[in-house]
Amino acid sequence: MVKDADIEETMELTDEKITDRVVFYAFDQAAEMLQEAGGFEPFTIILKGEDLFIEEHPGESVEECYDLARKEVFKMQLIAEAYAFCYDGFVELEDGPSDAIIVERASKGDAQAEVLVVLYHQHGDHYHFDETFYSMGETEPLFIAEVGEKPEADADAAADAEATAAADSASDAQKD
């Protein structure tokens, strides 16, 4: 997955905020999987109180992985307080592309999600991870603005189901 954006500033995360701890956890899990397996599936971490729910999103394409993550956050949004969506990618820097672990995070009610990056370099079988977190700016959050709103694919399926139910209702009414 590619993020074409300027890395803006160094981020200072603290262990005091639970959402920061979730981001630390996401980066740690991703780094561990890279070290052990040489890669990882994109995943979301949903925060509810002190509990974390983790779901991987294997897909054939970037769009499919993102859509799976969006649907997972949608499914959990009534109980979720925050989420982190983590994936392996690269960012374009002035001196060329750099591998990166990318985490998008947002809390319920946030107008925008924050995109954070840790750059890494592979040396043979070993990975070196920068100790600095960088901000890549903001993006639209995976949380749906209105609880009744559905992701596009789900909205189409819901509209089809509603149309079928209305047609069945009308057919039943004509039989009576």
Question: Is the pLDDT assigned to residue 144 strictly greater than 80?
Answer: no
Higher pLDDT, 119 or 2: 119
pLDDT at 18: 78
Question: Is the pLDDT assigned to residue 164 strictly greater than 70?
Answer: no
Higher pLDDT, 89 or 5: 89
pLDDT at 93: 87
Considering the entire predicted model, what is its pTM?
A: 0.75
Contact at 8 Å (CB) between 82 and 93?
A: no
Question: Is the pLDDT assigned to residue 99 strictly greater than 70?
Answer: yes
Q: pLDDT tens digits for 45-74? A: 999 888 899 999 998 998 999 999 999 998
Question: Is the pLDDT assigned to residue 159 strictly greater than 50?
Answer: no
Question: Is the pLDDT assigned to residue 79 strictly greater than 50?
Answer: yes
pLDDT at 53: 92
β-strands 113-123, 2-3: how paired?
unpaired
Q: Which of 12, 80, 70, 82 is nearest to 42 (CA)?
A: 70
Question: Is the pLDDT assigned to residue 111 strictly greater than 80?
Answer: yes
Structure tokens at 42: 């994109």
Structure tokens at 116: 């954070």
**Residues 6+ positions from 83 with CB-CB distance below 8 Å:** 44, 45, 46, 47, 73, 76, 105, 106, 142, 143
Question: Is the pLDDT assigned to residue 30 strictly greater than 90?
Answer: yes
pLDDT at 167: 40
* Matching residue, tokens 């694919």: 153
* Matching residue, tokens 């991870």: 129
Q: Name the β-bridge partners of 150.
A: none
